[in-house]
Chains A and B, each alone.
Chain A
Amino acid sequence: MKAIRPWSARAWLATAHVMTGPPVAFVLAGLTLVLAVVPPALRVGMPWLTRVQRSRFEAFLGVRIPPVPAAPTLRTSSLWRQIGYHLLSPLVAVVSAVMVALVWAGGLVGVSAFLPPLVQPPPLIFPIDLRDPVVLAVYIALGLLLLFLAPILARAMAMLDLSIARTLLGPSHQELGQRIETLTESRAGVIDAADAERRRIERDLHDGAQQRLVSLAMNLGLARATLRDLPEPAREAIERAHEESKQALKELRDLVRGLHPAVLNDQGLDAALSGVAARAPIPVRLRVDIERRTTPTIEAVAFFIVSEALTNIAKHAAATRAEVTVRRERDRLHVLVYDDGCGGARLDGGTGLRGLGQRIDSVDGTLRLHSPLGGPTTIEVDLPCE
């Protein structure tokens, strides 16, 4: 534990925590006993009592104790752990408060020994001759020592209380395990939903805006080709509209392709990646060995890994060639992207690779980057398929 000075804010907060302990604990223990008269009331009331203690820990110690879900039945273990804490805490709180108060008081008495006897305790209790300078010196030294010990003790007691509270008021291992399970499931749901949403937007744009734009561009093209005897300004306006509609088509196509390439759905990773590899400005050797197609989400993640990695290589690596290998081994999909560029790629550097890491994390995949300065760079990704 870091030594804390008696006059620091932390020392006062820890002391305040310990000193507010007994009154709060006694009131809450009393209320617990009252609620226990009608057991079902415990289920409703306990979260409120616990909330009081949690806010005390947060206010004085700056520590947030993770909340537990409301107990569904009277037999829920978290409910009984909370009751246990509220009944045990008066004892802990009183012992702590008394110890801390005694040490503070001893320290104050010690350092105030040089004051006139009026403010000194009566000599009945302290049969020590304070007029002897040596005794006085020892007395003050002891007082100072206690004064320095007091905040440490207060802190120690507060930490003891905190660890008990964490165990009894916070979620148990089992509850945390369940929570992780729920989170994992809901995360997978969110990711699948996001992926499905991208596919839906892609399809909507394909069926709607893109067709309409093609039709518009075609009509403008037809007008441009047939209306040759129009006045110059009108012809120019048609020409400009025609060119702009074609540009809009191209931009929309690039956008939609980035959302979700249709060929990925139709023919899988091999076909989609061969398009990506072909569009890369450097030679890319592509090997895809997948017997059974994986889920659409994993396919999409693998696709974006390769296309992001190749984009990064084109932008930063100054490579002359790259290699992409995608291989499925039972329930794992291995993706390896190699380039002979200048190396020095970092996961926390540009946005490209960081985004990659996030996407891989989101499906519980692993990413290994080997990129010494001077190259070559290898990105190895391992994704679960099932």
Chain B
Amino acid sequence: MRVVLAEDSVLLREGLIRLLEAAGMRVVAAVGDAEQLLRAAAEHRPDLVLTDVRMPPTHTDEGLRASLVLRRAQPSPAVLVLSQYVEERYAAQLLASATGGVGYLLKDRVADVDEFIDALRRVAAGGTALDPEVVAQLLLRGHSDPLDRLTPREGEVLQLMAEGRSNAGIGRQLVLSEGAVGKHIGNIFTKLDLSPAEGDHRRVLAVLQFLKIRSLP
């Protein structure tokens, strides 16, 4: 797996390179600002872009903007955004651009090495990885919407789906059998009016609907 990494703190950049290479990934470019990131991504066409949000020159949200540019490109690489804070607005912007292959995690999550590497692989494979904090923020919002029809358990399942977990992963987390998880997911699809014709895509659509409703003001 080939990765382009953008992080302005040298300390953290070196650490991440070590971490990724220890997990058998190849860091083809490691840069310190958004402009170099766009150039490196165009040049190397990586499987995954891993970027910080706040980078020079303005130290605001250039990493996020660069990610949005990358997401609109054809073909677009999978992008995982790391940030010191998670903001639902950023998540909404990231997710609005396209489906799949996107992640948004707190920087703290790199400390849990195995889970972090899992998230990287999932995103590179076209899945999603959303920080539990973002998801919690989104879930707390209480507009009246189709999601209100979900039971609390179904809400939990949907939340874990949004974090990018598989049915087996969701079952482990909630101590449910995989069959029970499947049943809950079926209920979620029904309540969100997602017909079977949409096939496996329904999973992504459910997550997207969840995110769209929860994150738009």
Q: A207-B9, A214-B107, A226-B22 are in contact. Are A274 and B217 (CB under 8 A)?
A: yes
In this assembly, does B41 line the interface, its C-beta being within 8 Å of a C-beta of chain A?
Answer: no
In this assembly, does B151 line the interface, its C-beta being within 8 Å of a C-beta of chain A?
Answer: no
Instruction: Select one of A214, A219, A283 contacting B142, CB under 8 A.
Output: A283
Least distance between A220 CB and chain B CB atoms (Å): 7
In this assembly, does B111 line the interface, its C-beta being within 8 Å of a C-beta of chain A?
Answer: yes
When chains A and B are docked, how far (Å) is the Cα of A250 from the Cα of B22? 26
Nearest to B62 among chain A residues (CB) is: A266
Nearest to B133 among chain A residues (CB) is: A279
B contact residues, range: 20 to 34
Q: By the criterion CB–CB under 8 Å, are B84 and A206 in contact? A: yes
Nearest to B116 among chain A residues (CB) is: A221
Q: By the criterion CB–CB under 8 Å, are B60 and A218 in contact? A: no
Least distance between A68 CB and chain B CB atoms (Å): 48
Bits for A184-217, please: 1 = Cβ < 8 Å to B, else 0: 0000000000000000000100110011101101
Q: A206-B54, A220-B111 are in contact. Are A283 and B143 (CB under 8 A)?
A: yes
Q: By the criterion CB–CB under 8 Å, are B85 and A261 in contact? A: yes
Q: A265-B60, A270-B217, A275-B137 are in contact. Are A221 and B89 (CB under 8 A)?
A: no
Chain B, range 85-113, C-beta contacts under 8 Å to A: 85, 87-90, 106-108, 110-113
Instruction: Select one of B16, B90, B111 contacting A246, CB under 8 A.
Output: B111
Instruction: Select one of B60, B108, B140, B217 contacting A250, CB under 8 A.
Output: B108
Bits for A4-25, please: 1 = Cβ < 8 Å to B, else 0: 0000000000000000000000
Contacts of B217 in A (CB 8 A): 270, 274, 286-288
Least distance between A187 CB and chain B CB atoms (Å): 29
Instruction: Select one of A210, A221, A266 contacting B111, CB under 8 A.
Output: A221
Contacts of A253 in B (CB 8 A): 84-85, 106, 108
Contacts of A275 in B (CB 8 A): 87-89, 137
Q: By the criterion CB–CB under 8 Å, are A271 and B89 in contact? A: yes
When chains A and B are docked, how far (Å) is the Cα of A225 from the Cα of B22? 11
Q: By the criterion CB–CB under 8 Å, are A274 and B15 in contact? A: no
In this assembly, does B73 line the interface, its C-beta being within 8 Å of a C-beta of chain A?
Answer: no
In this assembly, does B197 line the interface, its C-beta being within 8 Å of a C-beta of chain A?
Answer: no
Instruction: Select one of B15, B59, B90, B137 contacting A215, CB under 8 A.
Output: B15
In this assembly, does A222 line the interface, its C-beta being within 8 Å of a C-beta of chain B?
Answer: yes
In this assembly, does A263 line the interface, its C-beta being within 8 Å of a C-beta of chain B?
Answer: yes
Q: A211-B9, A270-B217, A280-B140 are in contact. Are A218 and B113 (CB under 8 A)?
A: yes
Contacts of A242 in B (CB 8 A): 111
Least distance between A319 CB and chain B CB atoms (Å): 12
In this assembly, does A277 line the interface, its C-beta being within 8 Å of a C-beta of chain B?
Answer: yes
Contacts of B113 in A (CB 8 A): 218, 221-222, 224-225
Q: By the criterion CB–CB under 8 Å, are B137 and A321 in contact? A: no
Bits for B110-142, please: 1 = Cβ < 8 Å to A, else 0: 111110000000000000000000000110111
When chains A and B are docked, how far (Å) is the Cα of A277 from the Cα of B89? 12
Instruction: Select one of A221, A272, A281, A286 contacting B110, CB under 8 A.
Output: A221
Q: By the criterion CB–CB under 8 Å, are B111 and A214 in contact? A: yes
Nearest to A285 among chain B residues (CB) is: B143
Q: By the criterion CB–CB under 8 Å, are B60 and A249 in contact? A: no
Contacts of B11 in A (CB 8 A): 211-212, 215
Least distance between A150 CB and chain B CB atoms (Å): 75
Q: A219-B15, A262-B60, A267-B61 are in contact. Are A214 and B89 (CB under 8 A)?
A: no
Residue in A203, A220, A271, A321 whose Cβ sees the most chain B Cβ within 10 Å: A271
When chains A and B are docked, how far (Å) is the Cα of A214 from the Cα of B19? 13
Q: By the criterion CB–CB under 8 Å, are A214 and B60 in contact? A: no
Nearest to A249 among chain B residues (CB) is: B108
Bits for B11-36, please: 1 = Cβ < 8 Å to A, else 0: 11001101100100000000000000
Q: By the criterion CB–CB under 8 Å, are B110 and A214 in contact? A: yes
Using CB atoms and an 8 Å cutoff, list the residues of chain B in contact with chain A: 9, 11-12, 15-16, 18-19, 22, 54, 59-61, 84-85, 87-90, 106-108, 110-114, 137-138, 140-143, 217
Show 7 residue pairs from A and B whose CB-CB distance is below 8 angstroms, ordered by the A residue: A218-B19, A222-B19, A249-B108, A250-B108, A262-B60, A274-B88, A275-B137
Q: What are the 6 tightest A-B residue pairs by CB atom distance, in nearest-first order?
A: A283-B142, A217-B111, A278-B137, A271-B89, A211-B9, A266-B60
Contacts A215-B9, A283-B140 known; 16 new A-B pairs at CB < 8 A: A206-B84, A207-B9, A218-B15, A218-B111, A218-B113, A221-B111, A222-B113, A253-B84, A261-B85, A263-B61, A267-B61, A274-B217, A275-B87, A278-B141, A287-B217, A321-B142
